[in-house]
Every structure is written in C-alpha cells, then in structure tokens.
C-alpha cells in the first residue's frame, strides 16, 4: 500500500486534529508534495538550513529534520532557536 494511503488510513482512525485536517486538505487539493511549507518565508528559512551544508545530517536524522522544519515554520520560534542550532 502506498505511504500516502497508509497516512490517510491512520489519520482517519485518530480524533480530529489540526495536523489531520491539514493532511486531508492537502491530499484533497493534490498538493501534498508541493505545499508542505506554511509560507514562502518558512520555505526560505528551511532551505537555508539545507544550503548551509546540513542537508546530509537532515537526511540521516529524520527527527532532527522534523524539529528544524517545525521550528522554521514560525518566525518567533526560529529567531529564538537559530542561535542554538549547531
């Protein structure tokens, strides 16, 4: 079974949440692969991480990549966290 179908099955079994609603909305619009960023600024901040030579470690550590992706989504959080990220 494709990964996307498994995610939708899982989402259908849990109580409604903002994450579940966003996944379903993106899937219904056919934009799962192209619209994962909250904004252009979010995309820019996350791409800067990748451009700083950190791409390899992000691919190797999915938890770290997820944390940086979420932190870079919010301007305030990113400004607080960025000096601590090595």
pLDDT 10s digits, 10-44: 767 776 677 767 777 777 776 555 557 888 898 88
Give the pLDDT score at 55. 60
Helices vs strands, H then E, count in the chain: 6, 0
Q: How many other β-carbons are positioned within 10 Å of the β-carbon of residue 54? A: 16
- Per-residue tokens: 28: 């219904």
Q: Is the pTM of this model over 0.75?
A: no
Cα atoms found within 13 Å of the Cα of residue 47, Cβ hemisphere only: 8
Q: Which residues of 1-86 form beta strands (DSSP E)?
A: none
């Amino acid at each position: 079974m494709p990964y996307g179908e498994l995610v939708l099955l899982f989402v259908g079994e849990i109580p409604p949440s903002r994450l579940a609603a966003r996944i379903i909305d993106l899937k219904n619009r056919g934009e799962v692969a192209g619209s994962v960023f909250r904004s252009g600024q979010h995309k820019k901040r996350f791409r800067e991480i990748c451009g700083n030579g950190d791409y390899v470690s992000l691919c190797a550590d999915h938890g770290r990549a997820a944390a940086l992706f979420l932190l870079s989504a919010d301007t305030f959080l990113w400004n607080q966290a960025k000096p601590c990220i090595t």
